[in-house]
Structure 1
């Protein structure tokens, strides 16, 4: 209040000293402010598009009833300059009010886009104007009451086992996300919550049990800036090929105050590699390999989600699908590997296997592959930024047998084994027994050769022999066209059977409807010179002229055929030589010697007597003279007798030749399998000789006996008629 006195000279002549006189009163306002975030109700605000800050301005010493304007400006505490929003505009606010009393408060509302302000400390400066004249200021850069903190959050995610940003899709994944925060208020308790997000879809990652992958940590920092580890432990066996980004949020009293959710931030990204394979035989070009000594299989491994520029090793093992164990050569597992440095995250690398499959006919091989990250001085941290230069270098997808970079890996626990120079860690596996692409089939064939007529493993040495070799196959690729080529081989020497100057062969083409099936190979050839031989049918199966299966077992009974042979020796049953007496009771025994029969089978030998002079069958009383003997072979070789009995009167001088036919007796009937029909064979020829003439004394005795007989007969007749005459007289 301004007091005034009027003096005349030194004498006071007037005064105005009224402490309550408004007219002589000057007001000096004071201003204090308290800034609070509307959403958190604290001095912490989230760096977002829609920030609401209320700065409560407490004023003193205003003139009641007058109108005032408060203008607020947000100041960057670090630079002292006016804060800019996301659009580059100054962050300001104002409020007009009428002071009801000298002392009071008024709220100044700041609404702005602060999405780029993470990490800033904001001080709210306030000015009060009366009639556009500045009458009050509060602009204390260090005043806590008018300060707002905008926390910032950064994260760096690392797999704890690989110590890199690569993780193996396994049941026990552990990711540590180190959260670096700034601008928290020390001494308060905060909760950090992390969520794993699928980079491709932007959705929350779910583990193998379908649960969202999240984690949290609680902190009470002693300083505004610091770090905290958020550990994620989950079953990620279903996540191969995924790219995971770790989003983090910081909350104070359940109010969100800090977020790091940048889907493109490499620091908070974890890569889960995936591999798939396609194994092809280098000869056939498909999933078939021959059971040979030198099989070459190329397994093309398609990888996804690697970090370019790092060194990797693919290690493959050939597995037996049936036993679920590794296949071996010489007691050692069949393996192969390739070391490579990719230029891109996705690509392919070839793993080449060379091995003997001679013992693997009929087996189904599955090629298992494991992908390792090779960690050494060149890529110790395996971070993308550290390997940018390496990724620009020439891609070295080298196939190698060099094991200098190989180390032992604890595969059970997926932990890298230590080595003074190199260590490697498992990051991807493809081991699926049901995957057709990583499967190689080694076909197997078996054959069953039968005579087309008899259905047995014996056939007749005739000009038009027909053999059906039924080839049973397994492990073919359905839908493909194949050719079976068969060759008849002589069992005695292993040489091809020759008929009419050519090897006896046959072939058949077919399209396999299923992996397992049968196909008939039909041989038709002149076998007339093969009696007594044992023949084995060898079969080869080809795909596009490439051999994929063989059955060439000279000892295999199923593919063996016997060509029986018989010889005969005919003798007279009484004389035991090749002459028979041309009388009424001739007996000829033909001993048939057989060879190359199947033991235990039933056979029938049918003999026929032939007249050598006419070349026709001997006919007596209108019937051909034949004989039959049926027997069961006790061995492959033996002798059986065929006995002829007939009236040979009047045949003196004839030469009879015994023709024999050997039949195999089956449930379907009897079928000829051998014959011996040689008119010039002395052994089967019988000469009919005249009966011997009686001597003279013997002749007279015969006459006397005949006459005596006649006399006796006459006496009987006379006696009969005499008795008859006597009987008539009585009557």
Structure 2
């Protein structure tokens, strides 16, 4: 009898079902593979272990909780479907005591796909630049699967590909961020990074790493050190020189001398102003070549039309300063906004060197030389003989006239 009464009480407990639909917030398509838990209304820890029961959405996006006793419950997503962000919202449902048994509660839960980022980095529209300027690197970040009207922040940092560590300029990392609210799920924004490339002392590949945040939560990362699209290359400027005098490597001093040094350059920024400053060096001493106790210097300011090219720097001085065979070497330095960015100063570089010979002295008569004495004596004897013969003939003719 007692067993029968207990069964009758249990049958009076009102039970119902909860039917959920999981859909994509952007496309409204059904989502398969999301795991949900049913929890007591007072639960604060949401795990599979603390759940009353669990259910996973099927290929139609449907998940169900069957035979749920009346009362108030929380439905919480425990694991998102592949490719989707977690949904941490609590959904409250109630199986009513005044409802008919087998009541079905229906809810719809939306999920956002994990956003996707793609980036293309350039400097002035180029993938390669010279280390000569304060540059602005622009990274065009293309995004997918964002929620229109929701605020997002993209944070970026410049990385040194060679080290895999953040690029340091004057011992500081280069970071930037931008906050925006998209009108569409798909679009793009530009994140700009300003840095002084003149601090870079070797050819460097710079890679941009970007992360997407919303409400201080990191949603997506694009950080591939091998991604060419994320990379720009900064190359060191280089100069080389070829010195000559009237096109020759050796020259004999004769009045003023002009050394023309053809300076070839690489990796400059087109349209920017540069200065090449040079000084003449005495190879024998390794010190400055002096004329009247003064250095011989020259400089030229120019604006390149191409990244690679050449310019001539000329040095003119009084050739009388050359009193012995002298090897003169030209040292050149390249400046941008008074900042030294390249040097070519090799005392042993033959291309930078010209050899100058002094003007030869005129020959002087030599004393104590009797090599021609016999000739002069013979010549004098002939002259005396001719004079005597002339006088004999003259007197003889006079005697004949007297007779």
3-state secondary structure, aligned to 1:149: coil
Identify the residue that residue 572 of structure 1 maps to in structure 2: none
Cα distance in 1 for residues equivalent to 2:226 and 2:85:
26
CA contact (8 A) 2:153 2:179 kept: yes
Q: CA deviation at 1:268?
A: 1.8
Is 2:215 aligned against 1:253? yes
Cα distance in 1 for residues equivalent to 2:58 and 2:367:
115
3-state secondary structure, aligned to 1:146: strand
Cα distance in 1 for residues equivalent to 2:173 and 2:58:
40
Q: CA deviation at 1:213?
A: 0.9
CA contact (8 A) 1:290 1:357 kept: no
CA displacement, residues 59-103 of structure 1 (integer Å, 9 cap, x when unaligned): 99xxxxxx985332487xxxx899xxxxxxxxxxx9999967555
Cα distance in 2 for residues equivalent to 1:260 and 1:272:
22
CA displacement, residues 449-485 of structure 1 (integer Å, 9 cap, x when unaligned): xxxxxxxxxxxxxxxxxxxxxxxxxxxxxxxxxxxxx
RMSD: 5.7
**CA distance change for structure 1 residues 233 and 339 in 2, over 3 Å: closer, same or farther?**
closer
Q: CA deviation at 1:212?
A: 0.6
2:194 to 233, 237, 240: 233
Is 2:361 aligned against 1:554? yes
CA contact (8 A) 1:180 1:227 kept: yes
Q: CA deviation at 1:205?
A: 0.7
Q: CA deviation at 1:167?
A: 2.8
CA contact (8 A) 2:211 2:221 kept: yes
Cα distance in 1 for residues equivalent to 2:52 and 2:13:
18
Identify the residue that residue 172 of structure 1 maps to in structure 2: 134
Is 2:109 aligned against 1:149? no
3-state secondary structure, aligned to 1:325: strand
Alignment gaps of 5+ in structure 1: 1-19, 36-42, 45-52, 61-66, 83-93, 125-134, 283-287, 328-332, 341-349, 371-410, 414-428, 444-547, 567-731
CA contact (8 A) 2:36 2:76 kept: yes
1:71 to 40, 55, 67: 55
Larger Rg: 1
Q: CA deviation at 1:356?
A: 10
**CA distance change for structure 1 residues 81 and 352 in 2, over 3 Å: closer, same or farther?**
farther
Cα distance in 2 for residues equivalent to 1:258 and 1:437:
56
CA contact (8 A) 1:277 1:438 kept: no
Q: CA deviation at 1:29?
A: 0.6
Cα distance in 2 for residues equivalent to 1:136 and 1:191:
44
Identify the residue that residue 431 of structure 1 maps to in structure 2: 342
Identify the residue that residue 110 of structure 1 maps to in structure 2: 79
Identify the residue that residue 49 of structure 1 maps to in structure 2: none
Q: What is the total number of aligned residue pairs between the two structures?
A: 300
**CA distance change for structure 1 residues 564 and 441 in 2, over 3 Å: closer, same or farther?**
farther
Identify the residue that residue 30 of structure 1 maps to in structure 2: 18
CA displacement, residues 226-265 of structure 1 (integer Å, 9 cap, x when unaligned): 2222111121212251111111112122221121112222
The within-5 A match list for 1:471-620 is: 548-554=355-361
Q: CA deviation at 1:136?
A: 11
1:200 to 162, 176, 187: 162
CA contact (8 A) 1:320 1:366 kept: yes
Identify the residue that residue 487 of structure 1 maps to in structure 2: none
CA contact (8 A) 1:74 1:123 kept: no
3-state secondary structure, aligned to 1:29: strand
3-state secondary structure, aligned to 2:173: coil
CA contact (8 A) 1:95 1:107 kept: no
CA contact (8 A) 2:141 2:190 kept: yes
3-state secondary structure, aligned to 1:194: strand
The within-5 A match list for 1:390-429 is: none
Q: CA deviation at 1:434?
A: 4.3
Identify the residue that residue 250 of structure 2 maps to in structure 1: 290
Is 2:143 aligned against 1:159? no
Cα distance in 2 for residues equivalent to 1:323 and 1:95:
92
CA displacement, residues 180-217 of structure 1 (integer Å, 9 cap, x when unaligned): 2222223332222111111121111111x211111111
Q: CA deviation at 1:565?
A: 7.5
CA contact (8 A) 2:159 2:208 kept: yes
**Could you say which structure has the higher helix fraction?**
2
